[in-house]
Each structure stands twice: as structure tokens, then as C-alpha cells.
Amino acid sequence: MRRASRSPIRRFYTAAASLLVAAAGLSGCGGSPAPAPSAGSAPSAPVVTGSGKKVGVALASMNHNFFIGMRQGVEEQLERDGMQAEIVVAEDSASQQQQQVDQLIQKGVSAIVMVPVDAQQAVNPVKAANAAKIPIFCIDRRVTAEGAEVACTVETDNAAMGEMAAQHGLKLLCDRYKLDAAKPDDVKKLKATVVHLWGLEAASSAQDRAKGFDRVFNATATPGVKILKAVGDFNAKKSQEVLAPVLSANPGIELVFCHNDDNAVGALNAVMDVKKGRERADDPKRVLIVGMDGNRAAIEAIRKGDIEATVSQEPIDMGAETVRQVKKVLEGGQPDKPYIAVRHHLVTKQEADAMKDKLWSDQLKGGV
């Protein structure tokens, strides 16, 4: 792959790509998702006041801003509620996450909050927590395997997120060809090539976002749209590496639908590699890029006009909400619901500029 150009803008995104190694994220107009198969009533736990109690927090990764924001929300809410955090990071390894949860159980934590690395394999640490009578909560991703009890799952409706992002991408394409995206007959006239750039295929968030994409782009609704699949693993560097040859081999690509914003930043870098720069917003040959999560690097690229849009999650709120549910259970109650969906919203350049300092990426205390 040809090395990137060294313009100031290019250096900014290359730096972002080298620092951001995403895990699943994260995460429209669809209906509410069905409750996770693993969700159920909270396992029995001692009734405590929360004062000084330790909560185990098993994260999948800390290599990009989304999880940094989630951790921020968890830690801030635990502090407000007088509890402490014992944080472990699995580096996207399901087996390592199993070992870490076992260690948290041995340390006698009062509850566990977990971002499942693998939607199926995560049933094992959940079962271990169940056996130890320690309530376990899932955040950002679900456990899809049966046979274990999760007290509560707090995440974004990832299928709805995927659908919202896909609908925006479809509208951009239809606008380009003077078609009305709200009219099915017009949409069927659309001829275009779209890359579906996946995240981690084993993550429930990626699977759900793909379902949202398929609601919009499919053989019935968009028969004239050719879909190419690539897998970026929620990782900016890998996304850049896998997409560049796809772009070179398919010069007619017009849209890259990205499972998260690290994928989107990688896609932008790949486009700049192959095209030797970024086309103007009104250039009919411009490759459109739509991501998800609302990460800082993507928001900055949207403000600069280099990425079209993202569908933002609220990881800081997600972390805080999960801790609020933990507190309810530790005080002898039940979570509000077995499945809680945190809001998501579309962010284009207009919203990114208007909401400066109000987006979670602007409020993030760490990260890049």
C-alpha cells in the first residue's frame, strides 16, 4: 500500500489512526430491540448501602475513546455513589476476560460490570458470577448465548444505530443523483457501489449494526446497489489497510458504511492514500464516509468537512446509567428493566458545529 501523503491534515488523521485501536462499539428509525436472551432477574446479592463497596469493571479494550468515555462515566458515578472500581482490561481476548472475571470473583467484588469481548463465549464468565452469587451487568454489548443470568444490559440500540447511519448514507447517494430517498421507487433506481466496513464480527454490536444496514441496503429495497464487504475490526489502522486495495480495485465506490468511527478514520486515511487527497464536498466522485460512535477524531474530521457524518452514542451516560442499576441491585432492589437502551443521534457538520462542547467527545477527559 502506498504510504500516506504528509500534508498537515493527513498527519492529523494518521496520528489518530495510530493511537486509536478500537473495540466494538459501539454500537435510527428501527423499533426497540428484543431483550437480550441472557437478561433476567438479578442474581441474589447481599443488601448493602454501597458505601465503600468495590465493583469489578471488566472492559474489552481501552484503546479508543469510546471505552475511555465509558470508563469515565462508570468511575464518576461510582464515586458519586460512594463505591470503588476494580478495573481490568481484556485487550479483546475472550479467554483473558474469563480469567479476569474469575479473579474479580476471587477478590470478592460486590458486583461486576462487563463489556463482553465475544457475544457467545461471554456466557462463561457470566455463569461464574452467577455461581458466586455476584450480580453481573453487561454494558455496550450483549451476551447472546443462553444459560446465564445477566442482571441488566445497558447499551445503545445498535441495530437502530446501524439503520440510522445507513439511511443517512442512502440519502447522500440519492441526493447526488437527484433521487428522493423517501420514495421506494426512486431508491430502486439508484446505481452505486457501497462498502460495508465491519467491526469485530464476534461482537454483538457489530452483528446488530449489520442488521441495521441490511434493513436499508438489500436486494429488495436497493437492487441497483452493489455491496462490498470488508472487515476492519473496529480498528483504524486495519480499516485503512483492508480498504485501500478495495478502493483501488473498485474506483466506482461511492460510500463507505463504517461500523464505528475508528473504521471511519481508517477509511478516510485509505481514501486519502488512494485518491492522493480528499475531494471537495460537492465533487460527484467523492467517496462518502459515514461512521458510528461519535469519537473525537471523527467529530473533528466532520467539523473539517472530511467525514460526512456519524451516529453518536453516549458512552459517558451509558457508564453512569449502568452504575445506577448496580446500586439498585446492591441495595436489594431490581434494575429498572432487564434491557436499557441509551440514546443515539445523527451528527453531521451542522450538528457538530452547533453542539461544540456539548458532545461527549468534547467532554471526554482523556483519550486522543
> Does position 4 have pLDDT exceeding 70, yes or no?
no
Question: CB–CB of 140/225 below 8 Å?
Answer: no
| Class of residue 41 by CB neighbours under 10 A (exposed 0-12, middle 13-18, buried 19+) | middle
- Rounded to the nearest angstrom, the gap between the alpha carbon of residue 160 and the centroid of all alpha carbons in its chain is 12
User: Average pLDDT, stretch 133-141?
Assistant: 96
Q: pLDDT > 70: what percent of the chain? A: 86
User: Average pLDDT, stretch 295-315?
Assistant: 97
> Does position 153 have pLDDT exceeding 60, yes or no?
yes
Question: What's the sign of the alpha-carbon dihedral 181, 187, 191, 196?
Answer: positive
The DSSP output letter for 141 is S
Q: Count H helices, E strands: the chain?
A: 13, 12
What grid cell was written down for 264? 471511519
SS3 170: helix
Report pLDDT for 330.
96
Report pLDDT for 31.
33
Position 35, amino acid: P
Report pLDDT for 366.
78
This prediction's pTM: 0.79
Name which residue leads in pLDDT, 271 or 34: 271
Distance in angstroms (rounded) separating the CA atoms of residues 221 and 213: 12
What grid cell was written down for 112? 461486576
Sheet of strand 192-198, all strands in order from the earlier edge strand to the far edge: 225-231, 192-198, 253-258, 288-293, 309-312, 345-348
Question: CB–CB of 246/228 below 8 Å?
Answer: yes
Distance in angstroms (rounded) separating the CA atoms of residues 11 and 180: 38
**CB burial readout 161-180, b (16+ within 10 A) else e:** bbbbbbbbbbbbbbebeebe
Report pLDDT for 194.
98
Report pLDDT for 367.
67
**Helix 204-216, helix 158-176: angle, nearest 10:** 40
> Does position 183 have pLDDT exceeding 90, yes or no?
yes
Distance in angstroms (rounded) separating the CA atoms of residues 261 and 241: 15
Question: CB–CB of 69/367 below 8 Å?
Answer: yes
pLDDT band, very low/low/confident/very high, at 368 (cuts 50, 70, 90)? low
The DSSP output letter for 91 is T
Report pLDDT for 52.
78
Question: CB–CB of 289/333 below 8 Å?
Answer: no
Question: CB–CB of 310/296 below 8 Å?
Answer: no
Of 17, 68, 3, nearest to 258 (Cα)?
17
Tens digit of each residue's pLDDT (9 = 90 or more) over 7-19: 333 433 444 444 3
Report pLDDT for 132.
97
Tens digit of each residue's pLDDT (9 = 90 or more) over 196-228: 999 999 988 999 999 999 999 999 999 999 999
What grid cell was written down for 136? 453481573
Report pLDDT for 51.
54
Average pLDDT, the chain: 88
Report pLDDT for 151.
97
CA distance to 122, 185, 221, per residue, from 93 (Å): 11, 46, 38
Report pLDDT for 191.
98
> Does position 43 have pLDDT exceeding 90, yes or no?
no
Name the phi and psi angles at 151, rounded to 5. -60, -40
pLDDT band, very low/low/confident/very high, at 251 (cuts 50, 70, 90)? very high
Question: CB–CB of 241/1 below 8 Å?
Answer: yes
